[in-house]
Amino acid sequence: MSLESEIARRRTFAIISHPDAGKTTLTEKFLLYGGAIQVAGAVKSNKIKKSATSDFMEIERQRGISVATSVMTFEYESHLINLLDTPGHKDFAEDTYRTLTAVDSVILVVDCVKGVEEQTEKLMQVCRLRAIPVIIFVNKMDRDGKDPFDLLDELEEKLNIRVRPLSWPINTGSFFKGVYSLYQKDLKLFVPGSQKREQDSITIDDLNDPLLNEQVGEKDADQLRHDVELIEGVYDPFSVEQYRDAHIAPVFFGSAINNFGVQELLETFIEIAPRPMGRHAEERQVSPEEKAFTGFVFKIHANIDPRHRDRIAFLRVVSGTFERNTFYKHVRLDKALRFNNPYSFMAASKDVIDEAYPGDVIGLYDTGNFKIGDTLSEGEKVHYVGIPSFSPEIFMELVNSDPMKSKQLDKGIVQLTEEGVAQLFVHSAGNRKVVGTVGQLQFDVIQYRLENEYGAKCRFSPIPMHKACWITSKDKKQLDEFIRLKSEYIYFDKDKQPVFMAETTWALNVAIENNPDITFHTTTEFMTVNG
């Protein structure tokens, strides 16, 4: 199959949502249709009867939440789907933001009971900034929730995007009977508690067909006709081009836990979602159809398989064909690397692949060569832009609870912070380690993983810290003098870059004012340019 054909049959997207909206459950139903699993695991009230396929870390199985992005590749109707299931919890938003750099579109899951929640708005802001096409799935229609028309108004108002329903619910809550596809002109009837694939749809091209009355009853059939007439009168006709340009978001309704409304969502997504697109680099725009391979690392994860202590770099193929056992240039390190066992993923399980094409997300076994944002190419110096990094909001000192396991602790905290879950700062004098995160939950995850994956026990002690700023200067003497005078507040990150730790806003402002030759950075993006 040609490169063009391989690109055309691929779809790479992320599922995002506020916690508990049903994102991971929807992911599993997609896998069900792809034949990757036979029965989906149920996640209810944080009690996991069967572990969710996409939640492969033990702490995720215990808590019933996703705290790391999972990558799943499966086939459906001759298309190859690269699906990235992201953490919904706000403390792990940084992982989700980075994942959005590796996808071409997004499915946003909204709980019909709670409507648009805070994290949903934040995630949508990132999608809007990146002009990522979004499909909205309104979930849990079998529960008593908000009126569908009120939900549409709320989506437009809070998410700042025009919406267009492509399916419509027949009743809601305990009276929920099914969904009618406005796009495919067919009806699916609701069967509560179904964990298997949906039944065949009933084609109804004309809503005045008496068959509709037979299937849902005269009252609900009349209501559906009235609703559809209102939709067609109020909302603009659906345009694939406007969706792909991120100007309009199609909306679907259903119940993921009951596997309802999912099939038409998946099939319509495959039909209208963009195929793999190019990416903007500092040097130029890179097209997927180019013959030369390029790709970038957007995530690193240690110990996906705790038995093998593996470290995997997740790479998005941007252009050309990636081939196993071929030397590629690591642009930042300026050296050639070869990969004997590149992987494709089905959550925790992985299969060795011989080739990968634009849109594919592959796992590369890593011995410590990669950082988030690194590029591989066939020789060209390409630096992909836009992979976000965030200044930590909470700082804690890492305290070793078992001095006999110091080496394990040092190795573990370095590997975990290289994944991007948190940032590590080591004091210039001595070995004092400070961990910075976006949210409190990350400390719990780090502590758990250090003990269970590295055999190292620790605790975290709060310290008064306002902001970590990376410091650079064109005048090396000025920088060295500042580091000497402020040695008490100087730490180094994992890349040995000096960091000024300001205890208060006032202290940071004074340092900036008194040192005009020094630049204080609140992100690490300056290192991408400097290499």
pLDDT in tens, 361-403: 998 988 878 888 899 999 999 998 766 566 687 899 999 999 8
Q: Give the pLDDT score at 292.
A: 96
Burial level of 226, CB count in 10 A (0-12/13-18/19+)?
A: exposed
Q: Are 446 and 408 in contact (CB under 8 A)?
A: no
Give one DSSP letter per residue of 369-414, joined into a string: ---TT-EEESS----B--------SEEEEEEES-GGGHHHHHHHHH
Which pTM value belongs to this model? 0.76
pLDDT tens-digit readout, 44-66 = 333 333 344 444 455 445 544 44
* 428-437: burial string, b at 16+ Cβ within 10 Å, e else: beeeebbbbb
**Higher-pLDDT residue of 87, 29:** 29
pLDDT tens-digit readout, 150-170 = 999 999 999 999 999 999 999
pLDDT-based confidence at residue 109 (cuts at 50, 70, 90): very high
Q: Give the pLDDT score at 189.
A: 82
Q: Give the pLDDT score at 64.
A: 45
Q: Give the pLDDT score at 49.
A: 34
Q: Give the pLDDT score at 350.
A: 67
Query: Where exactly are the structural domains of the chain?
Result: 11-68+84-272, 279-377, 394-530
* Mean predicted confidence (pLDDT) in 135-148: 93
Q: Give the pLDDT score at 310.
A: 65
Six-digit token pair at 169? 């619910």
Q: Give the pLDDT score at 389.
A: 60
Q: Which residues is 436 bridged to in the sheet?
A: 395, 423
Q: Give the pLDDT score at 139.
A: 94
Tell whether the model's pLDDT for residue 236 goes beyond 90: no
Q: Which CATH superfamily hosts domain 279-377?
A: P-loop containing nucleotide triphosphate hydrolases (3.40.50.300)
What length does the chain have?
531
Outline where 54-147 has alpha helix (H).
58-63, 93-99, 118-129
**Higher-pLDDT residue of 189, 155:** 155
Q: Give the pLDDT score at 307.
A: 55
The overall average pLDDT reported for the chain is 83
pLDDT tens-digit readout, 443-473 = 888 888 889 888 999 999 998 888 999 999 9
Please report, in angstroms and rounded to a whole number, the separation of the first and last CA atoms in the chain: 37
Whole-number Å distance between alpha carbons of 293 and 3 = 11
**Higher-pLDDT residue of 140, 388:** 140
Six-digit token pair at 390? 């965030």
* Mean predicted confidence (pLDDT) in 98-103: 86
DSSP class of 159: H
CA angle at residue 498 from 495 to 502, to 5 degrees?
130
Q: Give the pLDDT score at 194.
A: 54
Under 8 Å CB-to-CB from 300, ≥6 apart: which residues? Answer: 311, 312, 313, 314, 366, 370, 371, 372, 418, 419, 420
**What is the three-class DSSP state of 499?**
strand
Give yes or no on whether 279-377 and 394-530 have one common fold. no
* Mean predicted confidence (pLDDT) in 166-195: 83
Q: Give me the CATH topology for the region 11-68+84-272.
A: Rossmann fold (3.40.50)
Q: Give the pLDDT score at 476.
A: 92
pLDDT tens-digit readout, 211-229 = 888 888 889 889 989 999 9
**Higher-pLDDT residue of 516, 203:** 516
Among all chains, which residue has been given the structure tokens 């009690």? 47
Tell whether the model's pLDDT for residue 230 goes beyond 60: yes
Q: Are 473 and 527 in contact (CB under 8 A)?
A: no
Tell whether the model's pLDDT for residue 197 goes beyond 70: no
Pick the CATH number of 394-530 from 3.40.710.10, 3.30.70.3280, 1.10.3720.10, 3.90.79.10: 3.30.70.3280
Lowest mean pLDDT among 16-20, 438-442, 450-454, 466-470: 438-442
pLDDT-based confidence at residue 92 (cuts at 50, 70, 90): low
* Mean predicted confidence (pLDDT) in 241-254: 95
Q: Give the pLDDT score at 7.
A: 96
- Give the Cβ contact number of residue 152 at 10 Å: 20
* Mean predicted confidence (pLDDT) in 397-421: 86
pLDDT tens-digit readout, 27-40 = 888 888 877 665 55
Tell whether the model's pLDDT for residue 4 goes beyond 90: yes
Q: What percent of the chain has pLDDT over 70?
A: 84
Tell whether the model's pLDDT for residue 193 goes beyond 70: no
* Mean predicted confidence (pLDDT) in 175-180: 87
Lowest mean pLDDT among 115-119, 301-305, 517-521: 301-305
Under 8 Å CB-to-CB from 74, ≥6 apart: which residues? Answer: 30, 31, 34, 35, 36, 80, 81, 83, 346
Whole-number Å distance between alpha carbons of 516 and 519 = 7
